[in-house]
Chain A
Amino acid sequence: MKTDIRKRDGLARSGTFTIGDNMIPFPAAIDTDRVFPALAIQKYMNVPLAAPPDFVSRYLEQPKSPVIIHPALGNSAKSGDCVMAANWHTVMENPRQYVEYLVGLKEKTPPDTLWYAPASALPGNVHILCYSGFDLFDYTWIDLKTAQRKFCTTEGEFPTTAIDEMACGCEGCRTGDLKLHNRLALDRELATIRTFIAKGQLRELVESRCRLSAPHVAILRDLDSRYAFAERTAPVVRGGILRANSAESMTRPEIRRFMERVAVRYIPPKADVAVLLPCSARKPYSLSQSHRRFRQAIGGRAHELIVTSPLGLVPRELETVYPAMHYDVPVTGYWDAEECSVISSVIATYLRKHHYRHVIAHLEGGALEVAEAAADIAGTTLEYSCRENPTGSDALNKLDNALAGERKVRDDRLHGILSFQFGVDIDTRGLSVRGTFPELFWSRDRVPYFSLDTTGGIIRPTFDGWSLIPDGYRVEIDDFVPEGDILVPGIVRTDPAIREGDEVLVTGPRAVATGRAAMSGDEMERSNRGVAVRVRKVKKV
């Protein structure tokens, strides 16, 4: 069996695997008897997930394929294997156990393996299985539902009396074949999931699908709560929209990472005055009508900080950085208690770390309340240029007046993003910016150093740009000159801080290259195959 992981979305992956002449896209439900004939001849081989180590080492016998992984076993797989979490269906109703086993198994098993969950998939639960990093399923459980006369959809299972109302027009429903309908419903949901993985929006699908099952919501939340684990596979940039439409959006690893990097890595420009501004529907904010007005009134005399849910606080320089330019959130003007508490603490942390002579709140409604709560926690005194209608001329005049006599703040988008992206404090003097926002380029003496990637909103360094970044985000390769992308086997050492989508510098004895990480540093370290870095430019040394 040949496996090709093409796309990652958190723990989920999609791609193709080949058996004989058949190329099958995954995640997929497969005919186990055909793909894993060795399983059919296993007898008296049951080893439950809850079995203790001595029992497992005594009685677990590996079939020819797939390789069985078990919570009480050390790593049993190697790169390229298809692995099976036997009896995984027994933890579907036990979220705590599910997540504990999952994290343990994922951490010890090489990432470039195909994951099979036997007898576990239904149209109503396969989203959370894929989200957890399972790739292969079978029809055992869905066929059991047929035997139990249950009509299955993504919403769950129903008695066959519901078919009159719920028949879906599939071939099974048209011909009165329940088994066919149920199988097609699973196949269709898997196709939907593949589509969402391709778009990088599986999280959105899962946040929506999980609502009808308490265990699914619990699995989602519990995985989020294991931030160090979940964050490792969360990409640094995505192309599409991040839909922050549920309470769990607040705990999504990408969101929490943004908050943490603003608190820990980000270095603001020197400024006496900060203005807290509301967000805008249009992203990046600068291109919206309201922000054009704010910026005109401020005239560069203050550091601009945007108060927003679910990201908390977006300094002006970071407005393009994923997901600041990419999120969409339902706006009602009402901020719930959880939002208020998380975001006010984000702002308070910022205000405690960075001191301003004046902090002007140019806000209204929920954002204003959050800012006030944050100022209380941080011991900061807020000044107000308005309490309602911040885009009105009254408010804008007040803001202008409040800033009378203040000095200009250096507009250094490059410095801000680099600090956030690489955790560095770089002297950007002498670099001049050109282009039309957000298509910006930085150069020195006509030599290009950096550009802003308008998709992910992060900085792309050239070789000269990299020369200013002292360390980190390096991928060391062996003694060769890359032709095309860097594959995992060519890698000698990586930086564990690297995430999928990060800009990296490839260094080797014979060449250097710029490019973008296609997987996390952890995955590069623990895998033996796959594209690690998509290369932009190569230079022999």
Chain B
Amino acid sequence: MISEMTERPLASWLGHDRLEGEVLSCLTIIFRTSGCSWNSCLMCSYRHERYPVDKPHGSYSDHILSQLRWVQETYNPDLYRMVKIFTSGSFFDPTEVPLPVLQQIAKAFRGKVVIAETRPEYVQVDPLQSFIHDIDTGTEKIPLYCAIGLETTNDLIREKCIRKGFTLNDFIAACSRAKAGGAGVKAYLLHKPLFLTEREALEDMKSSIRTAAMHADVISMNPCTVQGRTELERYWKHRAYRPPYLWSVLSVLSDSPVHVTCDPVGGGRIRGPHNCGNCDKDIVAGIRDYSLNGDRDLIAALLETECGCKEEWHHVLDHEMPHCMPLTR
């Protein structure tokens, strides 16, 4: 019987996360759903993580609910204060997560801070209000954050380099709706998508953080990684793409007027943000520490360390141009 089966989410783990100046214990869950409605971003491989389209719709909700059941059976609610929910798409897309399922999930995490990822078009006042109604016990100031992959505040870059399909104005409007519904907004930024020089990418992050900070409560920056089965990977194999230098990531974080969380996934690897291979490990560890403890001096100190590849990074910043890039691997 389908209703009795238990299905594991795509991934789930316990950890810690920094939110509004506080370090919270955190459960992260990635639910398998019918997938992203947009499904077009150049760097995204999560779009492949979906149920086949011909799955009978009647049982679809049960699939998600059985993943929820597995989570509830696996993790003691006392072990975490915050839940981060990803779906490889949009959590508030009613096609992806039907309203009754949404309600069940809210009830399951009553009393927690929930951060759920969604495209801006699915940030609507009513569903947010009822979701908050179900989770809020009055213990958290903002019980729900809508996490939106804004990626950059530059519309040209978001369209050409990411193919994200919405504008900065769409994001700002979503922020207003979130606020009206009583939710906060977490903005995800993408450091160095396709088709940008090292300097263009660096400057785009610096200005994006400043602009995003005016609208979002929390900012997280993802240095771009080369995921399998993506347009990005195709270009990368043609040597037309290089992930950002960790030096650039440090430079962005050090310049930022607000705290920006950053998990350099794949850091130090050829498909992830990397330097020369000698200095990567310490920098990646330092960025993770900073992400949690907000120690700006640590970032400043890491940026001051010396390595043979730093001169190369400076050269790339100064001489990599749209007509001759990337200069390095």
A residues at B contact (CB < 8 Å): 39-40, 42-51, 59, 68, 84, 86-87, 89-91, 93-94, 97, 118-120, 140-141, 143-144, 147-149
Contact = CB atoms under 8 A, between A and B. Distances in A.
B240 A140 contact: no
B195 interface: yes
B109 to A, nearest CB: 41
A16 B319 CA distance: 27
A42 B321 contact: yes
A140 B312 CA distance: 12
| B195, B241, B319, B324 — most chain A CB neighbours (10 Å) | B324
B323 A140 contact: no
Contact of B322 (A43, A143, A148, A149): A43
Given A94-B238, A120-B324, A147-B312, 18 more contacts: A40-B321, A42-B321, A44-B161, A44-B200, A48-B235, A48-B238, A48-B241, A50-B235, A59-B160, A86-B324, A90-B239, A90-B240, A97-B238, A118-B321, A119-B324, A119-B327, A147-B315, A149-B311
A50 B240 CA distance: 8
Contacts of B161: 44
B37 interface: no
Interface in B293-329: 308-309, 311-312, 314-316, 319, 321-328
A48 B324 CA distance: 9
B197 to A, nearest CB: 7
B23 interface: no
Minimum-distance CB pairs A-B, first 3: A119-B324, A48-B240, A147-B315
A84 B324 CA distance: 10
A89 B311 contact: no
Interface string B158-174: 00110000000000000
A143 to B, nearest CB: 7
A379 to B, nearest CB: 51
Nearest to A90: B239
Contact of B319 (A43, A89, A140): A140
B123 interface: no
Contacts of A147: 311-312, 314-315
Nearest to B276: A148
Contacts of A143: 315, 319
Contacts of A89: 324, 327
8 contacts: A42-B321, A43-B322, A44-B157, A44-B200, A51-B240, A86-B322, A141-B327, A148-B309
Contacts of B312: 144, 147-148
Contacts of A118: 321, 323-324
The number of chain B residues touching the other chain, given as a range, is 20 to 34
A183 to B, nearest CB: 14
A59 B200 CA distance: 16
A44 B324 contact: no
Interface string B188-212: 0000000111001000000000000
Contacts of B239: 90-91, 93-94
A90 B196 CA distance: 15
A59 B322 CA distance: 12
Given A90-B238, A140-B319, A144-B319, A44 B327 contact: no
B177 interface: no
A119 B156 CA distance: 26
Contact of B323 (A50, A87, A91, A144): A87
B319 A46 contact: no
A119 to B, nearest CB: 3
Contacts of A42: 321-323
Given A49-B240, A68-B323, A119-B327, A44 B195 contact: yes
A93 B238 CA distance: 10
B234 interface: yes
A329 B157 CA distance: 58
A87 B321 CA distance: 9
Instruction: Provide the main secondary structure of the chain A interface.
Output: loop
Contacts of B157: 44
A147 B234 CA distance: 29
B327 A140 contact: yes
Contact of A49 (B200, B238, B308, B311): B238
A44 B156 CA distance: 8
Nearest to A92: B239
Nearest to B327: A144
A212 to B, nearest CB: 20
B327 A87 contact: no
A308 to B, nearest CB: 44
A45 B312 CA distance: 23
A92 to B, nearest CB: 9
Given A90-B238, A119-B324, A144-B316, A46 B308 contact: no
A378 to B, nearest CB: 48
A40 B328 CA distance: 19
Contacts of B322: 42-47, 86
Contacts of B321: 39-40, 42, 118-119
A138 to B, nearest CB: 8
Contacts of A51: 240
A144 B328 contact: yes
Contacts of A59: 160, 195
Nearest to B325: A46
A332 B319 CA distance: 51
A487 B235 CA distance: 44
Interface in B224-266: 234-235, 238-241
Contacts of B197: 46
A523 B224 CA distance: 46
Nearest to B157: A44
A413 B5 CA distance: 93
Contacts of B241: 48
Interface string B43-67: 0000000000000000000000000
Given A39-B323, A48-B235, A144-B327, A87 B316 contact: no
B315 A48 contact: no
A289 to B, nearest CB: 57
Contact of B196 (A44, A68, A120): A44
A325 B10 CA distance: 74
| A46, A48, A120 — most chain B CB neighbours (10 Å) | A46
B199 to A, nearest CB: 10
Contacts of A43: 200, 322
A147 B328 CA distance: 12
A9 B324 CA distance: 27
B235 A45 contact: no
Contacts of B309: 148
A148 B308 CA distance: 7
Nearest to B326: A90
Contacts of B327: 89, 119, 140-141, 144
